[in-house]
Chain A
Amino acid sequence: MYRMLEFSGVSYDYPGHGTDQPALTDMTCSIGQGEIVALLGANGSGKSTLVRLSNGILVPSAGTVRVDGIPTDDDELIWEVRSRVGVVFQNPDNQIVGTVVEEEVAFGPENLGVKRNELRSRVDEALAAVGLTGLERREPHLLSGGQKQRLAIAGALAMRPGYLVLDEPTSMLDPAGRSDVLGIIDRLRDSGTGILHVTHHLADTLGADRVLVLHKGRLVYEGLPDELLFGALDLTALGLRLPAAMRFAEELRRQGVTLTARARDASSIGEALWG
């Protein structure tokens, strides 16, 4: 059996949307276990629709979504799908329901019928994975933005999903919170989880194994992050923006400075200039 989260020829049209283009058209892609796939696209490109399709919140108008071979449109198997694919949305404030941290994390597995003893170990494990151990009895509204986002991730991890789908998990965070979340994503990948990281920041994709780019509901690029940054695709036309360090490198070249290496951050530009 193939262990992956798999979209085959998936289209989705919101009901009553009239003659407009569908939110997603003929999307084919897969996320394997132990890899980070970054999904880039401007607002309205279909990213959030894809997120909702990934664990059966929406079912495709055409094509199929399968998790480890299980189709998401079978009502009988929907809880099997949801226990395998965890989804974390952009704004943690909109998804936190528990009155204290450990209750929030236990909410998902409790609904799956997980027994008390195991519940405890799952909660402890999930909190440890996101670095919130010690805050079990804290009220969620007293946490910082970064801590809330990590709590939302812990809630998804307590389901022990094979795949984790994160919809712009860093967009509300300060730089410290952002690098915390990126670090957690890396560690989860290393422990075998398949990650779909949805973002509109190119800089967030540099640590991914593969990058997908959506434009107006269609997949227009799939490849390595480096190849996207240095390739022929017109990123600006896709509503994307080069990281500041790359705009800096571009202007240096325009000023006649030779950069030998593929410059993309302070250290690689420095290396190119003075070894």
Chain B
Amino acid sequence: MGLKLTDISHTYAPTTPFAVEALANIDLNIEVGRTLVILGPTGSGKSTLLGIACGLVRPTLGSLALDGVNDAGVLVGREAGVGLVFQAPENQLFAEFVLDDVAFGPLNLGLGREAALERARDSLPAVGMDPAVFGDRSPFALSGGEARRVALAGVLAMKPAYLLLDEPTAGLDARGRDGVLAVLDELAPTTGIVIVTHDAEEFLGRADDVLVLAQGRSEYWGPVEGLLANPAPLLAAGLVLPDVVRVLHDARDVGVPIELFTADPVRAARILAAGLAKVRS
């Protein structure tokens, strides 16, 4: 089971003088109930990989399988398939009313109008919005955070088993950001979530697994604790270690026992406090 990418390589404009190798030999497995964070500098292949994972981009080499079915083709917008939330998805809202915008996806899955509106009424609460309040508002009269959540509801209405998000909190203020993060926390146990982000500080604290990309190659793929305990691949990719994790490493270097390396500030503080208490006793 899972969404499985095997030995994926991708070259743009192959066989021309402008050929650019975007990805080389990437293996990845995305499982329901786990959150994967993809980190990498600009141009490292993150967005290409998202396009391949939902079947929108056919890789030059390698294969894609959804729940054991090989070469699954276009997966995005398929019932119980893969949902893709682009960067700044609120730019793609188009309908006159919020409810119609959210219902657009299910309508295209072939559901009847009433069934599609029902889906829309179910998925708005999932993003913390009351359909009775927001349903007949214009999508263009919402705050940035609200519009982002409406766009997310539009994808959730297709009930994807796997949800891919490109920079889901970029450009949002603290309130908008907390709103989106709360939705992701709610979905995490029942969905395979993939988040592409520059914000290691925020997302490493809520990841199960991490893929670190540098120039199209995998520097690390595995559990987040492993990367944070030995962050060499992160640094090799030109990324920085979150402040909180640096303090945990500094603590270990001066002899404080650290049982687990995490980027979640509250958990990290508790781990450090426990270590300091051990040193004192």
Contact = CB atoms under 8 A, between A and B. Distances in A.
Contacts of B201: 244
A244 B242 contact: yes
B244 A248 contact: yes
A139 interface: no
Interface in A210-224: none
Contact of A43 (B144, B242, B243, B273): B144
Interface residues of B, number: 40
B265 interface: yes
Contacts of A200: 173-174
Contacts of A256: 273
B231 to A, nearest CB: 13
A89 B143 CA distance: 19
A90 B88 CA distance: 13
Contact of A266 (B175, B247, B270): B247
B237 to A, nearest CB: 10
B42 A174 contact: yes
A146 interface: yes
B173 A42 contact: yes
Contacts of A43: 143-145, 172-173, 175-176
Given A42-B174, A173-B198, A251 B250 contact: no
A177 interface: yes
B250 A266 contact: yes
Interface in B236-266: 238-240, 242-244, 246-247, 250-251, 254, 263, 265-266
9 contacts: A43-B173, A145-B42, A171-B171, A241-B178, A245-B244, A248-B266, A252-B273, A257-B269, A274-B254
Given A248-B244, A256-B273, A266-B247, 13 more contacts: A44-B143, A172-B171, A173-B198, A174-B42, A175-B198, A240-B174, A241-B177, A244-B201, A248-B268, A251-B269, A255-B273, A266-B250, A273-B251
Q: 5 nearest interchain CB pairs?
A: A251-B269, A255-B273, A241-B174, A248-B265, A245-B243
